[in-house]
């Protein structure tokens, strides 16, 4: 066969094969709906929903799993593997599910509730600008070291102190450092091995709740010194489970029961976290008995579980909010309250929540859900009322109005079908003569887009960090900069602007209520401030309040004692397996 001929044919075949492989890849990448779990942060103690994956180190385990009693293996299946095992190295809820089994905080959340309980601190008080903590004695880390006040200091300094010898670097530590501790703590002083005083930069009511966040997990000083950044794959905590192995090729993290645990200790011998990308496959795996608990459940997966004879669906109210923000800094029409209200009336949020989100969410009327302190019972969601919307628009003198609605493409817990929801908004608003164009993006450039204030209006949402009202009211709707007098919005370019406030809203009354509540320790007074702030937010409508999503878990019938915790969990030490 002539040489040229063979080369040509091969070249052609290569190109054809390459194109086929490329097409297959492209086809997969273009269909993310099925694979995205939208479940990050689902286990509560905050964390953003960034999807992350496995870890490089391939570990070789040794033990063979058995069955019965202490050899029982509890399998938790989720959408993605962890990216890191260091609570100071992550912003992802997916990572937190695992670290919460191995690490503990000074103060902790009650399983399944939003209230606090003693953790590694036996006693804790917040008075004025000072927090005093008495530590539990007789607690040991997984490396055998005894837990003392020095560990707390080392933990704090490693997270926020650039001058600390063992500070792991700016791009290693997460933004939670300053957000949780650094901004509020002036210094930490020890008084013996079991007493600590934290001097604060200001009075700050949510502080104890910050201490209960995953980011405030207590690390071992010795481990900090010995391991540095390796803590991201070799965690050392005090929790009921200790790290065993991380098998990245199987996307599987294995933890074993901590026999030296100071508390009651875990029921099962091992916990395995495993990743299954497809929601439906995950549900089928649960149904066939190869997983015990699963999260990241969409409408289709929940149907599989509901129809299953071997598994059940657990539900609880989540601590989150989904909304559509008006960018008042960019779009002049939105600076008129009547226009914002008109849009709120025009959009059928009830239909979005009931039919598009398929009932796994509740309609929202204010920034916080009902399980957070300060929820205002007297407010109800804006009803769908196109006529009222039209008359408000007429009053405002707005006609021929159009804007761009920016949205992320993939489902998120607080917005499980963003594109369909956006389509509904578009058709609802066309009924009142407002033209909407939809700008859909991946979450990654989307966050950039909205935090730079480039959107006219956008879908967004929030999963709580610490179940404190301040974590919604101040974090999402307070500009955190000075505002020109008589103006109720502020430009995104202002130095130090809180870019999480995607509405650019800056209502003076609201701001002073929220600021006051931040420094009020008396709960009744604080609550009424938030109730009032919620009313202002509702009436002023900087957002279209959309929904509070419910948390869903699929649980196999052999699982006992599992409490769905919207924050601080999952509490797997309490979970047992029947044979």
Partner 1 sequence: MVSKRFVLKRLLLLVPVLFGVATLVFAILHLSPGDPAKVIAGQRASQAQVEAVRQDLGLTRPIWVQYLDFLTDVLVLNLGESYIVQRGVPVLTVLRARLPVTLELAIFGQLIGILVGIPLGVISAVKQDTATDHFARVGALTGISMPIYWSGPLLILLFAQFLGVLPASGRIGSAFDVPVYTGLITLDSFVYGLTTGGWDAFASAASHMLLPAAVIGIYGTALISRMMRSSMLEVIRQDYMRTARAKGQGAKITVMKHGFQNALIPVITVIGIQFGTLLGGAVLTETVFGIGGIGTLLVQAIEVGDYPLVQGTVLVFAFLFTLVNLGVDLTYSYLDPRIDQ
CA distance 48 to 51: 9
Asked if 457 contacts 331 with a C-beta cutoff of 8 angstroms, the reply is yes
Among 37, 39, 44, 48, binds partner 1 (CB under 8 A): 48
Among 37, 39, 43, 84, binds partner 1 (CB under 8 A): 84
Here the tokens at position 370 are 């009902």
Handedness of CA 432, 434, 435, 441 (dihedral sign): negative
Q: Which residues of 188-221 are buried (b: 16+ CB within 10 A; e: fewer)?
A: beeeeebebebebeebbbbbbbbbbbbbbbbbbb
Compute the least distance from the CB of residue 493 to partner 1, in Å: 11
Q: At 576, which helix (H) or strand (E)? A: strand 576-577
Compute the least distance from the CB of residue 531 to partner 1, in Å: 26
Please identify, among the stretches 76-84, 101-109, 120-128, 324-332, the one whose residues bind partner 1 according to the rule CB under 8 A. Answer: 76-84
Comparing CB distances to partner 1, the nearer of 380 and 444 is: 444
Please choose, from the candidates 227, 101, 221, the residue with its C-alpha nearest in 3D space to the C-alpha of residue 150.
Answer: 221
Which positions from 340 through 359 interact with partner 1, judged by CB under 8 A?
Answer: none
What is the largest distance, in Å, between two alpha-carbon atoms of the chain? 91
Which positions from 175 through 214 interact with partner 1, judged by CB under 8 A?
Answer: 175-176, 178-179
Quickly tell me which residue has 């009931």 as its tokens.
354
Instruction: List all residues 6 or more positions away from 387 whose beta carbon is below 8 Å from its beta carbon.
Output: none
Please identify, among the stretches 28-36, 186-194, 366-374, 379-387, the one whose residues bind partner 1 according to the rule CB under 8 A. Answer: 28-36
SS3 (DSSP) at 525 = helix
Compute the least distance from the CB of residue 3 to partner 1, in Å: 7
Handedness of CA 507, 364, 555, 53 (dihedral sign): negative
Please identify, among the stretches 72-80, 413-421, 430-438, 538-546, the one whose residues bind partner 1 according to the rule CB under 8 A. Answer: 72-80
Please identify, among the stretches 15-23, 186-194, 386-394, 568-576, the one whose residues bind partner 1 according to the rule CB under 8 A. Answer: 15-23
SS3 (DSSP) at 303 = helix
Compute the least distance from the CB of residue 234 to partner 1, in Å: 13
Which positions from 284 through 313 interact with partner 1, judged by CB under 8 A?
Answer: 284-285, 287-288, 290-291
**Residue 276 engages partner 1 in binding (rule: CB under 8 A):** yes
**Residue 160 engages partner 1 in binding (rule: CB under 8 A):** no
Asked if 321 contacts 370 with a C-beta cutoff of 8 angstroms, the reply is no
Among 129, 132, 140, 250, binds partner 1 (CB under 8 A): 250
Which positions from 447 through 486 interact with partner 1, judged by CB under 8 A?
Answer: 447-448, 451, 465, 475
Compute the least distance from the CB of residue 140 to partner 1, in Å: 25
**Residue 64 engages partner 1 in binding (rule: CB under 8 A):** yes
Instruction: List all residues 6 or more positions away from 412 whose beta carbon is below 8 Å from its beta carbon.
Output: 38, 49, 322, 418, 443, 461
* Per-residue x/- track, 393-432, partner 1 (CB under 8 A): ----------------------------------------
Here the tokens at position 250 are 């199987």
Comparing CB distances to partner 1, the nearer of 23 and 118 is: 23
Q: How many residues bind partner 1 (CB under 8 A)?
A: 96
Please identify, among the stretches 21-29, 317-325, 350-358, 555-563, the one whose residues bind partner 1 according to the rule CB under 8 A. Answer: 21-29
Burial class of residue 331 (count of CB atoms within 10 Å of its CB; 0-12, 13-18, 19+): middle
Among 8, 23, 202, 387, binds partner 1 (CB under 8 A): 23
């Amino acid at each position: 066969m002539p040489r040229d001929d063979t080369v040509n044919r091969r070249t052609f075949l290569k190109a054809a094969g390459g194109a086929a492989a490329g097409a297959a890849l492209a086809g997969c990448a273009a269909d993310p709906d099925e694979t995205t779990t939208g479940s990050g942060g689902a286990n509560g103690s905050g964390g953003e929903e960034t999807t992350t994956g496995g870890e490089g180190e391939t570990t070789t385990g040794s033990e063979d799993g058995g069955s019965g009693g202490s050899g029982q293996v509890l399998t938790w299946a989720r959408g993605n593997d962890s990216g890191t095992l260091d609570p100071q190295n992550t912003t992802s809820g997916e990572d937190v599910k695992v670290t919460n089994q191995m690490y503990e905080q000074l103060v902790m959340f009650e399983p399944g509730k939003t209230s606090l309980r003693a953790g590694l601190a036996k006693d804790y008080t917040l008075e004025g600008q000072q927090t005093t903590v008495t530590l539990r004695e007789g607690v040991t880390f997984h490396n055998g070291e005894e837990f003392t006040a020095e560990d707390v200091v080392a933990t704090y300094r490693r997270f926020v102190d650039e001058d600390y010898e063992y500070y792991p670097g700016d791009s290693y530590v997460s933004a939670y450092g300053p957000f949780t501790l650094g901004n509020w703590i002036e210094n930490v002083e020890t008084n013996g091995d079991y007493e600590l005083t934290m001097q604060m930069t200001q009075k700050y009511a949510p502080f104890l709740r910050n201490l209960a966040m995953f980011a405030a997990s207590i690390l071992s000083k010795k481990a900090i010194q010995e391991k540095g950044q390796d803590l991201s794959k070799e965690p050392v905590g005090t929790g009921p489970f200790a790290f065993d192995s991380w098998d990245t090729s199987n996307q599987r993290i294995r933890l074993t029961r901590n026999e030296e645990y100071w508390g009651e200790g875990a029921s099962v011998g091992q916990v395995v976290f495993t990743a299954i990308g497809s929601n439906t496959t995950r549900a089928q795996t649960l149904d066939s008995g190869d997983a015990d608990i699963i999260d990241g459940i969409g409408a289709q997966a929940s149907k599989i579980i509901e129809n299953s004879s071997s598994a059940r669906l657990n539900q609880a109210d989540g601590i989150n909010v989904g909304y559509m923000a008006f960018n008042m800094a960019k779009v002049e029409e939105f600076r008129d309250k009547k226009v914002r209200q008109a849009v709120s009336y025009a959009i059928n949020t009830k239909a979005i929540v009931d039919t598009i989100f398929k009932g796994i969410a509740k309609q929202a009327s204010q920034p916080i859900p009902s399980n957070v302190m300060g929820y205002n019972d007297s407010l109800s969601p804006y009803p769908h009322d196109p006529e009222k919307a039209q008359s408000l628009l007429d009053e405002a003198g707005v006609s021929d109005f159009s804007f761009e609605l920016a949205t992320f493409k993939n489902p998120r817990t607080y917005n499980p079908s963003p594109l369909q929801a956006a389509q509904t908004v578009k058709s609802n608003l066309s009924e009142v003569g407002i033209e909407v164009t939809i700008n859909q993006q991946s979450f990654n450039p989307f966050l950039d887009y909205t935090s730079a204030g480039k959107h006219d209006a956008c879908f967004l949402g929030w999963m709580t960090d610490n179940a404190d009202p301040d974590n919604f009211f101040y974090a999402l709707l307070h500009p955190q900069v000075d505002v020109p007098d008589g103006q109720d919005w502020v430009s995104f370019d202002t130095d130090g602007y809180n870019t999480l406030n995607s509405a650019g809203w800056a209502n003076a009354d609201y701001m002073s209520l929220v600021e006051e509540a931040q420094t009020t320790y008396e709960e009744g007074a604080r609550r009424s401030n938030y109730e009032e702030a919620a009313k202002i937010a509702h009436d002023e409508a900087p957002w279209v309040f959309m929904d509070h999503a419910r948390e869903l878990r699929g649980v196999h019938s052999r699982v006992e004692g599992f409490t769905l915790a919207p924050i601080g969990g999952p509490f797997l030490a309490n979970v047992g397996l029947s044979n």
